[in-house]
Amino acid sequence: MVEVCSPLREPLVKGNKTLAQITLDVCRPLERRPTNLWWSAFLVSSTMLLLGIVAVTYQIMTGIGVWGLNRTVGWAFDITNFVFWVGIGHAGTLISAILFLFRQKWRTAVNRSAEAMTLFAVICAGLFPVIHMGRPWLAFWMLPYPNDRGSLWVNFRSPLIWDFFAISTYFLISLIFWYIGLIPDLATVRDRAPPGKRKSLFGFFSLGWNGSCRTWHRYELVYLLLAGLATPLVVSVHSIVSTDFATAILPGWHATIFPPYFVAGAIFSGMSMVLCLMIIARKVMHLEDYITILHIDAMCKMVLATSCLVALAYGIEFFTAMYSGNPYEYFVFMNRALGPLAWGYWIMVGCNVVVPQLLWFKKIRTNVLAVFALSLLVNIGMWFERFIIIVTSLYRDFLPSSWSSYTPTLVELATLVGSFGLFFTCFLLFCRFLPMIAIAEIKGVNRYARQPKGGHE
Amino acid sequence: MSEETANSYWKSLEECTADSEFLETASREFTEPIAVDPHGPSRRDFLALTGFALAGLTVAGCTPAPERQALPFVTQPEEIVPGRSLHYASTCQECSAGCGMLVKCRDGRPIKLEGNPEHAMSRGGLCAVGQASVLGLYDRLRVQRPLKDGRESTWREVDDDIRTQLDEIRRHGGAVRVLSGTILSPTLRDQIRRFLSRFADARHVVHDPLSASAILTAHERTHGIRLLPHYRLERAEVVVGFDADFLGTWISPVEFARAYQEGRSLDGNPPRCSWHAQFEGRLSVTGAKADERLRVLPGEMGILSHLASRLARRAGVSWDAPGLEDASIPGSVLDRVADRLWQARGRGLVLCGSQDVDQQLVCNFVNHLLGNYGATIDLEKPSLQKQGNDAEVERLVQELKDGRVAALLVLDSNPVYTLPGVQELTAALQRVPLLIDCSERFDETAAVAKYVCPRPHALASWNDAEPIRGLFSLAQPTFAPLGHERTILESLATWSGGGRSARQLIQEFWQANIFPQQTRENQFQRFWDQAVHDGVIETSIHEELPRSFAMDQIRPVIRSERPAEASFALALYPKVGLLDGRHAYNPWLQELPDPITKVAWDNYVCLSPTAANRLGIREGDVVRVEVGGASVELPAYLQPGQHDQLLAIPLGYGSKLSERFGNIGPNWLEARLTLNENGQVGINAAPLLILAGNSLQYQRLSARLTRTGRSHPLASTQTHQSISVPAHLAPAGEARRPMIQETTVAGLARGHRPEHPEPQADLWPNDHPVTGHRWGMVIDLNACNGCSACVVGCQVENNVPVVGKDEVRRQREMHWLRIDRYYSEEGRTSGDVDVAFQPMLCQHCGNAPCETVCPVLATVHSSEGLNQQVYNRCVGTRYCANNCPYKVRRFNWFAYSRDDALQNLVLNPDVTVRSRGVMEKCSFCIQRIQEAKLESRRLGLPLADGAVQTACQQSCPARAIHFGDLNDPNTEVSRLVRDGRRYQVLAELNAQPAVNYLKLVRNRPEGEVRGHG
């Protein structure tokens, strides 16, 4: 076969695949025994998960005092990790819903795994608000359920309640969206499986998919509607998370810029995490033909754009602090940049503002290793951003008498490691058992930038 | 009806036939004969004997019969209503000040100690130590039975032994010595005198660990009578202190704090405010309040002679001070102080805390020149709060070392701990044939004593006190002793031959000596009942007027001893919470942050930041301090405002009594112990004291400081000390935070106190108007001297847990009320600081930031303006604490131990004990508000102003805290809120706090004070 390319556009799928090849390529990892590489990765991540489980169990049995918090710094690692994971969870829905609506065809190679990543990240994120409670066994009190305590309801003025609704809505919609998108591929796996448990399991979850025109029609309509429904959530979730801080009166938190700033930061960190994972996955799963340099380049541009947005937000925050004439506000920002935790601030600025500027160069954007390193740095920088926002606003606030400091304990570090363990364990299981590229969708863009040929391929 | 028939039925053929043999058998109870041993005890005998033994054992088990007044309530007395508290007047016996107090009892157990407002001396105040002492009552580690050679014994055995040996000593004329601290109880003094009168060679030696012996000696020389004058600070318009921490720990701080405050009440126009200058080396609580504080070394107290010569010149008295060295203080300053004193002749007061008799003589001379005797210094009704005689103590130690003492009775004193030279003293004490220690706990001296005769807690025994001549107070038991303790009075009476109860002894003494001195009552029983009820009576007893002033005794102190350039002078000082260390058992006091350093659970070496920088020492570095042959190793603490060549070390640490804190605080992965390597809290600095030259010296002139290279992080509740934030992080000129606002007396007089305008209209409708009571508080920063009585009062009242050193170090102390201490360097010369104290508690904001953010409505507003925390609804997100601009919310990070069932008896049943994972904070003592409201409703009267007193307010010695209804314009708080000095902390946030502060006032020329609101 002769590959005929458009003079203007690069094809999205390389290697001039036939449709059958695509099916085969994506389904191959599901239908063979796991490789040693997978096993070792799984072992490492499940060990990390186990460590996290031990840490959280110990913490719940002993008390929240096993964390390094104090009377002044009431949140630190817990909420930092929460916001970090929610941010990571942002890219998936952005890619699948917003890019879908914008007809960005390159998204088809990455949307499935990005959505899966979203789900796992939101699971990780959702854990923290629960375990950070002094009495996590009463977490259900956040639910406005009918009760016999004089019908005591939750406080609808509290951003934590908004959070609870925002996160749970986001998780549910993301889950449904992801699952609906999976159905045609589940059917493909079902059809390829020999009779047995596997076939009946996939058969059950593919909801009797028969590939008829009517099925496809309904499927695509539902997918479109869900994409429309999920789009506002991309903006709402992190806006609401930001109100945890913005509605407080604490200098450094009390800022109207927070919702757009947090959304930009979330997309920034989410995209970097997707980049990170995709670069590993395409190498390990031999999917270079599907997740191409083109994809990496496109995502790098988004990272660069959001990095600039985040940099702008940093600048505006400082400007507001200086311009407001509020000495407390002024102090918080100067203290961030020059105080005892300034090293954290400069890690944040370095990783989130300075380093991504390299992405202006195409050479860097197309260098997989460089992009990988860079995306890791951005993730570190974004974790520090949340840490800086939370801890440096708290540890030196209004009354100098109450100033304190914060050092994480081993239990907190183990909990952070555990959350990564949970994330990667879930992700590895996903790679192992579900098609990590949307087969049906990628087939639709297979002919992109190629001259149409008559007949079947 | 048919005629009744009586048929007879038979049960067997034998009965029918009336077989005689059968009939006989049937008539017996047992068919077969029972084998009874006619010689052994019968069954009835056995039962009778068992019953007798049981009854006998029961009766035997009931001894000893409890004290009459402390009977448990077998039948309910009329006045005891479960759930209602009773207050009994009593006397605090925790230090030698002898303040009056009220014991609050609930369901038969004392749970809170408060100041007795009717006590003429302490006037409703009670210090932190006094308030914390209730915990000692429920201490399971008290000695509960007499010990003989360290083993538990019985009173009978111990008494027999002691009596036999005393008789032996009496026959041989051996030396008998009684060693005690200051004894305020006239009955006990009388009893000791009687006890000793039986021996040929007998003496009562009074050893005050915090001695003021030099003052007594000086007055003996100048006035011919050994006494401690009663200083009347309330009459003084100019107060000049020389190393006398009279607001903190010196002689009678509660009384002095109130009197000092009265002299600075700011009433009238011009506002009444004394002028206070303090000469001192370390920064004391008193120095913190001074209008002018001058840093001088202990060896430089010859300054007093400079002052004396200036005053003598003004008075026209010839007083030569040849060879007087130049003072380190500029002459102009001394002139200013002298002028102030001279202008206020008879209305001034010079106080000297030195233990140097010559200096005290000069101090007497100065007061004499100024005509302060008879005006601000009362000699007719002198103070009895320090009776120690260091010369006698020195003599006793020598006698002990020489082995000349046959019997030593140590009454409530711990010389092995409080005197220098532990080893020699221990060895000397071990050689004493009969060493009896009467104390509450197994301390260092009890460990070497042959007999330990435990005394009950002050709340479980009768006692009396005479802190000021003619002012008598009583202490009544409110609880039965938990063990088999016996009061010292009873022990002495037993050993003297007459075994009577303490109550009888006191009653007899009062009938014979005190009753005749008063005219109010003519029947002793009524007099006694009234005295027990009031807790205090005043009589006309007074000293003979002393002879005229002996001028010839006064010699100027001309030497000015400064340590060499590289070495330091050393000052050993008592801390507000721990004093001489006898309270080291008390976790509340150990966890109480020092008012100045804000460090809990440790002692340290204070040195000035300049000196520390020079030596490269950082806070927490362990340093070795060597004086003479003795040395201690302690962490360093950088104390602003301290003289650059002075080291200061708190006493009262490193005591055997603190060995109990091994398990205090939560136990978890990274928890560290509260105890140091020595197994104690802190290190005893008493070995650095010196007992020589007829006085116990707390100051050494030459000490060496070396670094050890180790470090020991201190548990400090405040990490940033200044009111200003680092200048490079703040907008230009706005580094000072406005939490503390100050003004001057002149400013007040000129500003004639503008009434506050009505608050401006709000954009938002007031949709929750508070129409009934609206509780509010006013805290007078001018009155507050940081003494921390409120902190402990709050802790006791509200069941606030103790968390241990490591948790304090992690900034997780639980105190609902804290005292912020700020330094300000602005406008001061280099090294000097201004100090401000600010009690900080939940501000009960009208627009509370904590309330909006709680997801589960666990913190809500009451209809009376209170911000309430609902513990059982709290899930512990800590969002409220994050959003609290005052950072007054406290989180239960762990389940703090409540395992000690005995200690739990001290818990206030009106206040919930919080579980782990919930937030807590000041409730404005809502339980007290409820109690007062219920009472007023029961009586059908409106709630009077002052009927609700919060725990912090009640015992504040300086009356700095006022509480009441802000909606009633006639209450005291409403009046104070209208005062021109009133401000709110962070008012610009519009949280509308219900706690208002009154500006700190310094008696300085205008312009020297910053931070005008």
Q: What single-letter amino acid sits at A152?
A: L
Q: Is the pLDDT of residue A454 over 50?
A: no
How near does any CA of chain B get to the CA of A385, in Å?
18
Q: What is the DSSP letter of B603?
A: -
pLDDT of residue B1013: 37
Q: What single-letter amino acid sits at A25?
A: D
CB-nearest to A70 from B810, B853, B918 is: B810
Q: Answer whether A250 touches B (CB < 8 Å).
A: yes
> Chain B interface, mutation test: which of A399, A406, A407, A410, most B Cβ atoms within 10 Å?
A399
Q: Which residues contact B353 (CB under 8 A, 6 or more apart)?
A: B212, B241, B242, B243, B244, B245, B246, B250
Band the pLDDT of A186: cuts 50, 70, 90.
Answer: very high
Length of chain B: 1013
Cis bond upstream, residue B322 (ω within 30): no
B residues 103-142 closer than 8 Å to A (CB)? none
How near does any CA of chain A get to the CA of B848, in Å?
11
User: What is the rounded CA–CA span in Å between residue B536 and residue B99?
Assistant: 10
Contact B730 A399 (CB under 8 A): no
Set of chain B residues whose Cβ sits within 8 Å of the Cβ of A66 = 668-670
CATH, range B213-383: 3.40.228.10
Three-state SS for B441? strand
What is the edge-to-edge ordering of all strands in the sheet holding B536-538? Answer: B228-231, B377-383, B463-468, B471-475, B536-538
Q: Answer whether B669 touches A (CB < 8 Å).
A: yes
User: What is the rounded CA–CA span in Å between residue B177 and residue B173?
Assistant: 12
Given the structure tokens 């002898």, which residue do they identify?
B98
Q: Are B599 and B142 in contact (CB under 8 A)?
A: no
Q: Are B805 and B715 in contact (CB under 8 A)?
A: yes
B residues 752-811 closer than 8 Å to A (CB)? 807, 810-811
Set of chain B residues whose Cβ sits within 8 Å of the Cβ of A136 = 875
E strand or H helix at B23: helix B20-27
Given the structure tokens 């005690």, which residue do they identify?
B180
Q: Which residues contact B745 (CB under 8 A, 6 or more apart)?
A: B266, B270, B271, B273, B1001, B1002, B1003, B1004
User: What is the rounded CA–CA span in Å between residue B461 and residue B455?
Assistant: 9
Contact A401 B821 (CB under 8 A): yes
Q: Which residues contact B473 (CB under 8 A, 6 or more apart)?
A: B91, B98, B100, B119, B464, B465, B466, B467, B535, B536, B537
Set of chain B residues whose Cβ sits within 8 Å of the Cβ of A139 = 875
Q: Is the pLDDT of residue A455 over 50?
A: no
Q: Does domain A19-141+154-445 have CATH number 1.20.1630.10?
A: yes
Contact A133 B852 (CB under 8 A): no
pLDDT of residue B792: 95
> Chain A interface, mutation test: which of B719, B734, B837, B874, most A Cβ atoms within 10 Å?
B719
CB-nearest to A64 from B840, B852, B917 is: B917
Comma-separated ranges of CATH 3.30.70.20 domains in chain B: 734-1002
- Among candidate residues B879, B802, B894, the one with its CA nearest the CA of residue A411: B894
> Chain B interface, mutation test: which of A57, A62, A64, A71, most B Cβ atoms within 10 Å?
A71
Beta bridge pairs of residue A2: none
Q: What single-letter amino acid sits at A55?
A: A
Q: What single-letter amino acid sits at A236?
A: S
Count of CB atoms situated within 10 Å of the CB of B340: 17
User: What is the rounded CA–CA span in Å between residue A414 and residue A426?
Assistant: 18
Kindly give the residue spans of alpha helices, DSSP state H, lying in B173-240: 186-197, 213-223
One of 3.40.50.300, 2.60.40.10, 2.40.40.20, 3.30.70.100 is the CATH number of B568-716, namely 2.40.40.20
For residue A394, what is the nearest residue in chain B, using CA coordinates?
B882
CA A17 to chain centre: 30
Count of CB atoms situated within 10 Å of the CB of B781: 21
Q: Answer whether B38 touches A (CB < 8 Å).
A: no
Q: What is the DSSP letter of B251?
A: S
Q: Answer whether A27 touches B (CB < 8 Å).
A: no
Set of chain A residues whose Cβ sits within 8 Å of the Cβ of B887 = 71-72, 397-399, 402
Set of chain A residues whose Cβ sits within 8 Å of the Cβ of B725 = 331, 335, 396, 400
How near does any CA of chain B get to the CA of A396, in Å?
9
Kindly give the residue spans of alpha helices, DSSP state H, lying in B501-634: 502-509, 524-534, 587-591, 609-615
- Among candidate residues B391, B408, B397, B441, the one with its CA nearest the CA of residue B133: B441
Q: Are A423 and A413 in contact (CB under 8 A)?
A: no
Retrieve residue A332's tokens: 């918080």
Set of chain A residues whose Cβ sits within 8 Å of the Cβ of B718 = 401
Three-state SS for B30? coil
Q: Give, rounded to a whole angstrom, the gap between the first and last alpha carbons of chain B.
A: 113
E strand or H helix at B103: strand B100-106
**Average of pLDDT values for A105-118?**
85
Q: DSSP secondary structure string, B480-494?
A: --SSS---HHHHHHH
How near does any CA of chain A get to the CA of B895, in Å?
7
Retrieve residue B405's tokens: 């003492």
User: What is the rounded CA–CA span in Å between residue B911 and residue B904?
Assistant: 13
Q: Answer whether B54 touches A (CB < 8 Å).
A: no
Enter the pTM of the model: 0.89
Set of chain A residues whose Cβ sits within 8 Å of the Cβ of B600 = none
How near does any CA of chain A get to the CA of B740, in Å?
10
Q: Which residues contact B519 (CB under 8 A, 6 or more apart)?
A: B540
User: What is the rounded CA–CA span in Å between residue B229 and residue B216?
Assistant: 8
pLDDT of residue A392: 93
Q: Is the pLDDT of residue A185 over 50?
A: yes
B860 sits in the region (left: phi over 0; alpha: psi -120 to 50; else beta) called beta
How near does any CA of chain B get to the CA of A170, in Å?
19
Retrieve residue B82's tokens: 């479960």
How near does any CA of chain B get to the CA of A22, in Å?
49
User: What is the rounded CA–CA span in Å between residue A82 and residue A126?
Assistant: 7
CATH, range B84-211+400-496: 3.40.50.740
Contact B720 A403 (CB under 8 A): yes
Per-10-residue mean pLDDT of chain B, 1013 residues long, equals 64 75 73 68 84 84 56 68 87 92 90 92 91 92 91 92 92 92 93 92 93 92 90 93 92 93 86 92 93 87 85 86 74 90 92 90 91 90 92 93 92 92 90 92 92 92 92 90 89 86 91 87 90 89 75 73 80 92 93 94 92 92 91 94 93 92 89 89 92 87 90 92 89 88 86 57 79 93 93 94 93 94 82 91 93 93 93 93 94 88 91 93 94 92 92 92 93 90 90 93 72 40
How near does any CA of chain B get to the CA of A13, in Å?
49
Q: Are strands B201-206 and B175-180 parallel, antiparallel or unpaired?
A: parallel
Set of chain B residues whose Cβ sits within 8 Å of the Cβ of A65 = 666, 668, 807, 812, 893-894
For residue B739, what is the nearest residue in chain A, using CA coordinates?
A399
Q: Which residues contact B641 (CB under 8 A, 6 or more apart)?
A: B283, B287, B293, B295, B608, B823, B831, B832, B833, B835
Q: Answer whether A401 touches B (CB < 8 Å).
A: yes
Q: Are B1006 and B744 in contact (CB under 8 A)?
A: yes
Q: Answer whether B918 touches A (CB < 8 Å).
A: yes
Kindly give the residue spans of alpha helices, DSSP state H, lying in B268-407: 285-289, 303-315, 331-343, 357-369, 390-402
Q: Are A248 and A75 in contact (CB under 8 A)?
A: no
B residues 860-899 closer than 8 Å to A (CB)? 873-879, 881-883, 885-887, 889-895
Q: Are A125 and A167 in contact (CB under 8 A)?
A: yes
> Chain A interface, mutation test: which of B721, B856, B990, most A Cβ atoms within 10 Å?
B856
Contact B854 A155 (CB under 8 A): yes
Given the structure tokens 């796992």, which residue do they identify?
A120
CB-nearest to A399 from B722, B734, B739 is: B739
Q: Torsions phi, psi of A338, nearest 5?
A: -125, -5
pLDDT of residue A54: 96
Comma-separated ranges of CATH 2.40.40.20 domains in chain B: 568-716
Q: What single-letter amino acid sits at B21?
A: E
pLDDT tens-digit series, residues A334-344? 999 999 999 99
Three-state SS for B377? strand
Contact B886 A396 (CB under 8 A): no
Cis bond upstream, residue B64 (ω within 30): yes
Interface size A-B, in CB pairs within 8 Å, comes to 192
One of 3.40.50.1980, 3.40.50.300, 3.30.70.20, 3.90.550.10 is the CATH number of B734-1002, namely 3.30.70.20
For residue A406, what is the nearest residue in chain B, using CA coordinates?
B810
Q: What is the DSSP letter of B660?
A: G
How near does any CA of chain A get to the CA of B978, in Å?
25
Higher pLDDT, A444 or B360: B360
- Among candidate residues B819, B793, B816, the one with its CA nearest the CA of residue B891: B816
